[in-house]
A and B are shown apart, each in its own frame.
Chain A
Amino acid sequence: DIVMTQSPDSLAVSLGERATINCKSSQSVLSSSNNENYLAWYQQKPGQPPKLLFYWASTRESGVPDRFRGSGSGTDFTLTISSLQAEDVAVYYCFQYYNPPLTFGGGTKVDIK
């Protein structure tokens, strides 16, 4: 099974500052057949279902503000919020859909400092 390890578990950032979340997979999720990384990022707020932010590691879902950026390839990925807003307080998860069983990272809780 592919293990997804996120870091940090939580972080507090001042409004307008940058937040960076890392995600590492135990094996590559880059497909040689289509050169795509089978990696997604989700945002979840309390009492709500998760919201898709990125797929193929860096393809922004429609409606997601451009202060969010997904990057990385192979086994190392990053979600960056360039200027944290109050509405970004949430738990963020990476997710590999390369090989079943599909697996989530443990989550990173983002708060305002």
Chain B
Amino acid sequence: DVQLVQSGEGLVQPGESLRLSCAVSGITFTTAWMSWVRLAPGKGLEWIGRIKNKIDGGTADYAAFVKGRFAISRDDSKNTVYLQMNSLKIEDTAVYYCTTYSGSPGRYWGQGTLVTVSS
């Protein structure tokens, strides 16, 4: 069975940082591209970014709203992808999902992690 298990949920103040993790099992993680997507209250799904596998360069692409505040990384030795979020804003309050992006985009998803940014 494929599993994506997320961790790092939290309540933070504006301007603070938070790192989300997504541990993957059941697929060959080293060949997988991975994405992060979020769902803010009352809004639609929003793509945050993706990271390629090391074979394809290991680079990441981001949505414009990230503007250098977020960074996606991966540790193939731990089968884990990370989302580092800095300078968090109230409007970053959302449920964050990791998802696979290989062959078919979004076949497997994490359970979601609630991030609340509030003073």
Contacts and interface: CB of A to CB of B under 8 A. Distances in A.
Interface string A1-26: 10000000000000000000000000
A101 B62 contact: yes
B104 A40 contact: yes
Contacts of B101: 97
B64 A52 contact: no
A59 B104 CA distance: 10
Nearest to A38: B105
B100 to A, nearest CB: 10
Contact of B109 (A1, A49, A97, A104): A49
Contacts, number: 64
A50 B97 contact: yes
Nearest to B100: A52
A79 to B, nearest CB: 15
A34 to B, nearest CB: 13
A100 B36 CA distance: 13
A77 interface: no
A49 B107 CA distance: 11
Interface in B91-112: 97, 99, 101, 104-107, 109-112
Nearest to A42: B106
Contacts of B63: 101-102
A95 B106 contact: yes
A14 to B, nearest CB: 25
B61 A1 contact: no
B104 A49 contact: no
Nearest to A107: B44
Interface of B: 35, 37, 39, 44-47, 49-50, 61-64, 97, 99, 101, 104-107, 109-112
List the 9 closest A-B pairs by CB distance, nearest first: A49-B109, A100-B61, A107-B44, A55-B104, A104-B45, A101-B63, A102-B47, A97-B105, A52-B106
Given A40-B104, A44-B39, A50-B99, 7 more contacts: A40-B106, A50-B45, A50-B109, A52-B104, A55-B104, A101-B62, A102-B63
